[in-house]
Amino acid sequence: MASYKTRFPMMGTFIDLVVHHERGEALIKECYLQLQEFTQRFTVNQAQSELMRVNNYAGIRPVRVKPDLYALIKKSKAISVDPQNPFNVAIGPLVKTWHIGFKDAKLPTDDELAEKLQLVDPSNIILDDDYQSVYLSQTGMQIDLGAIAKGYFADRIKDFLTANGVEHGFINLGGNVLTIGYSPENASQTWNVGIQNPLAASRGDICRVVPLRDYSMVTSGINERYFEYNGQRYHHLLDGQTGKPISTNIASVTIISKLSVDGEIWSTAGFLSSIDESLSYLNRQAGIEAVLISNQGDIFVTNGLTDNGTVVQLR
63 pLDDT band, cuts 50/70/90, is very high
Please check whether residue 309 is in contact with residue 301, taking contact to mean a CB–CB distance below 8 angstroms.
Answer: no
Q: Cα–Cα distance between 124 and 58 in angstroms, integer?
A: 10
Enclosing H/E stretch for 31: helix 24-42
229 pLDDT band, cuts 50/70/90, is confident
Name the residue among 79, 113, 83, 215 with its Cα closest to residue 158: 215
* Mean predicted lDDT score pLDDT of the chain: 95
Distance of alpha carbon 290 from its chain centroid, rounded?
14
On the 0-12 / 13-18 / 19+ scale of CB atoms within 10 A, 226 is middle
249 pLDDT band, cuts 50/70/90, is very high
DSSP string for 69-107: HHHHHHHHHHHHT-TTS---TT-HHHHHHH-TTSTT---
* pLDDT on residue 276: 97
Q: Cα–Cα distance between 223 and 236 in angstroms, integer?
A: 9
> φ, ψ for residue 248 (rounded to 5)?
-160, 160
* pLDDT on residue 287: 96
**Paired residues of 259 in beta bridges:** none
* pLDDT on residue 202: 76
| Phi-psi sector, 231: left (phi>0), alpha (psi -120 to 50), beta | left
201 pLDDT more than 80 = no
DSSP string for 152-167: HHHHHHHHHHHHTT--
Per-residue pLDDT, averaged over 44-60, amounts to 95
Torsion of CA 277, 267, 87, 104, to 10 degrees: 120
Span of 36-50, 114-128, 190-204 with lowest mean pLDDT:
190-204
Please check whether residue 148 is in contact with residue 44, taking contact to mean a CB–CB distance below 8 angstroms.
Answer: no
41 pLDDT more than 90 = yes
pLDDT digits (tens, 9 = 90+) for 146-191: 999 999 999 999 999 999 999 999 999 998 999 999 999 999 999 9
pLDDT digits (tens, 9 = 90+) for 72-117: 999 999 999 998 899 999 999 999 999 988 888 999 999 999 999 9
* pLDDT on residue 112: 95
Enclosing H/E stretch for 32: helix 24-42
* pLDDT on residue 185: 92
| Phi-psi sector, 287: left (phi>0), alpha (psi -120 to 50), beta | left
pLDDT digits (tens, 9 = 90+) for 270-303: 999 999 999 999 999 999 999 999 999 999 999 9
Extract the runs of DSSP E, i.e. beta strands, from the chain: 3-10, 13-20, 63-64, 125-128, 133-136, 168-173, 176-180, 191-196, 206-212, 216-221, 226-229, 232-235, 250-257, 288-294, 299-301, 305-307, 312-314
What's the angle, vertex CA 39, arms to CA 168 and CA 64, rounded to 5? 120
